[in-house]
Structure 1
Amino acid sequence: MNTFKALTIIFLSLFIISCGSNSSQKKSDFSIKTNAEKGNISISENLNLSLENKKNHTIDSVLYTLNGKKVNESFSLNNHKLGKYTVEATVYFNNEKQTANTNITILNNEAPKVYKYNIINEYPHDITSYTQGIEFFNDTIYESTGQYRESKLRKLDYKTGEVVKNINLADEYFGEGVTILNNKIYQLTWQEGIGFVYDVNTFDKLSSFKYGNSKEGWGLCNDDNTIYKSDGTEKIWLLNPETLIEQDYIQVFTNKGKIGRINELEWINGKIYANIYQRGGVAVINPKNGAVIAVIDFSPLKKKVTQHEKLDVLNGIAYNPKTKTIFVTGKRWDKLFEVEIIEKQ
């Protein structure tokens, strides 16, 4: 390479770097002030917004948005979902426009209640099943199990533990949560970004679907109109059952903060019951705003199953509408517990 070409390349490189360094956004002359204490505010309060005008500009107008939706300077949070939000102010002044933003977290206004339970029955369960999700359909339990080269979809006689029907997933898939809607079984995989749809009677695979904004598949449930999907974070995604597109999400929060690692899901009487991975407990969630209404500590159940080297955590919730009772189990547990929930202390 001659000297002229070398100098030209160096010059162009410096020019590109110089242009790139000038692309950084100018710091705003404004900042947003709120009544959220340390960024936290209760759903029962009004959010009040004001602008700090650092350079005393003559302001023409200000547009406030909450996660991209226009809001007033003061408004009630009563009908909002819980979770983290970005407040942005677009300020118009002197034929200019600048933006400022801040983050807030909307919390529930009540601490979760503590529900208890009574064990009604104990049934046998396959001790080799790495249970990821269970669901009742026509008085029969359907189960999805995990682990690479072990993942299955099963139909069980819950009273005897007998496997009535079984198919194995391909070795490259790690099975996760399962739900049944309109005679179709929906099953997630963990990190493969794909879910499967089967005929509930034949187990024939009808189709598959890819995830949207969520990166992983953990748990599933439905309310006959919407499919709810967890991804291992505090988010529960709302899927259109026809397109399986993630249309929206709720964030699971208490009056103190978020509840992460949301796993197996079950829809029970208008609420989402969610297993908290590795916690041995279940959160009862308001599906409209993500508020944790109550918690149930199922951790003592693990001591009631056969103790062995591969024994793992609680994971499996199913509601039987016929008996109006809840069934719970865990990964490589040899028992399936039928319980009734006691809401009042």
Structure 2
Amino acid sequence: MSRLITVVALLSTAGLMSSCATNPGALDEVERLDVAIVDTHSFDDSSFTQGLEVEPEGTLLVGTGWEGQSRIYRSTVEGQELSSVDLDPEFFGEGLTRYEEDIWQLTWQDGVAMKRDATTLAELERISYEGEGWGLCSFDNELIMSDGTSQLRRLDPESFNERERLSVTLGGEEVVGINELECLDDSIYANVFMTTDILRIDAATGTVTAVIDASSLPNNAADDPDNVLNGIAHIPGTDRFLLSGKRWPDLYEVEIVATRQAQ
């Protein structure tokens, strides 16, 4: 069963498609936000983007998926590739994050996380975990991992050992399909797979505090159901984010703004 079919079945079973993020009853106390494009940068349209992160130095880390095509690479925000390392062809790459001088990279259904040297991207070790790997981000003393369900895992940033889990809830209901992640301040930003919704999640409780509508971003990728929004990266020292998608030719620099009310 393909990833697309698996996830759609999971979302349908739970009764939580993208409509869960636009249910007025569920959002009475949740902020509704939009994105405003500030700039557009060129992006590698062969990248099946699974992980996206801006490093402290300002360079961009990208992790891509698909067996035989997965890699990790570093580029400038403007799109100049600086270095690249292929994953072994049997692996389907997933999310990644930098923690101090290491990079952790997930695989989808292989149950393997790879620890890499942040300078060279060289693999240092492999760690096994249960279930699927989807998104990954890091705070000062922990990693946060998604697995396509409503659960987020708190992980030790050195050993990758699981500490605990929290459920992501919107209006009291669990939200499945939690995918690519970005950790910022006391919140986790996460896109909901196969939708254009980005959730801002309280990192302590798992409660959704805002739903960000990114449907205004032009999807200029080739016509393919897999080529959806995926990739959230905060630009350090600013209030801006970079957003892209699987095989998207564009990397959007955006600000998160209040939803414009209809007149």
Q: Classify the TM-score, shorter chain.
A: 0.7 to 0.9
Instruction: Please list, as runs of the form range in 1=range in 2, the aligned pairs for 1:3-152 lying within 5 A after superposition.
Output: 111-137=29-55, 138-152=57-71
Q: Distance in 1 between matches of 2:173 and 2:110?
A: 30
Q: Where does residue 216 of structure 1 map in the other structure?
A: 132
Looking at structure 2, the residues matched to 343 and 250 of structure 1 have their Cα atoms a distance apart, in angstroms, of 28
Which sits farther off after the overlay, 127-136 or 309-318? 309-318
Change (3 A) 1:306 1:238: closer
**Bigger Rg, which one:** 1
- Counterpart residue type for residue 46 of structure 2: T
Work out whether 1:153 is the aligned partner of 2:72. yes
TM-score by length of 2: 0.85
| 2-structure distance, mates of 1:325, 1:186 | 24
1:109 deviation in Å? 9.7
Match of 1:321 in 2: 236
2:159 equivalent among 243, 256, 260: 243
Partner in structure 2 of residue 98 of structure 1: none
The aligned amino acid for 1:336 is L
Partner letter of residue 97 of structure 2?
T
* Separation of aligned partners in 1, 2:211 and 2:27: 16
Q: Decide which of 70, 87, 96 is 1:178's aligned counterpart.
A: 96
- For the 8 Å contact 2:85–2:122, the answer to whether it is kept is no
Question: In structure 1, what is the equivalent of residue 4 of structure 2?
Answer: none
Measured after TM superposition, the shift of residue 343 of structure 1 is: 4.1
Query: 1:178: how far off?
Result: 0.4
Percent sequence identity over matched residues?
35
Assess if the C-alpha contact under 8 Å between 2:35 and 2:216 holds in 1.
no
- Structure 1 counterpart of 2:197, from 276, 281, 287: 281
Superimposed CA distance per residue, residues 139-171 of structure 1 (whole angstroms, 9 cap, x where no aligned partner): 011000000100000001111x12110011011
Gaps of 5+ in 2: 1-25
Contact 2:221–2:247 (CA under 8 A) maintained in structure 1: no
8 Å CA contact 1:302, 1:313 repeated in 2: no
Aligned to 2:80: 162
- Matches of 1:234 and 1:278 in 2, distance apart? 15
Match of 2:108 among 190, 203, 206: 190
Instruction: Give a deviation string over 1:4-28, Cα, whole Å, max 9, x none.
Output: xxxxxxxxxxxxxxxxxxxxxxxxx
Paired residues of 2:154 and 2:164 also in contact (CA < 8 A):
yes
Task: For structure 1, list consecutive stretches of 5 or more residues without a partner in the other structure.
Answer: 1-107
Distance 1:148 1:302 in 2: 27
- Give the count of matched residue pairs: 234
| Aligned equivalents of 1:197, 1:111: Cα separation in 2 | 39
Counterpart of 1:187, as a letter, is: Q
For 2:214, the equivalent position in structure 1 comes to: 298
Q: Which amino acid aligns with 2:63?
A: S
Q: Per-residue deviation at 1:308?
A: 3.9
Letter in structure 1 aligned against 2:247: R
Residues 139 and 322 of structure 1 are in contact (CA less than 8 Å); yes or no, is this contact kept in structure 2? Answer: no
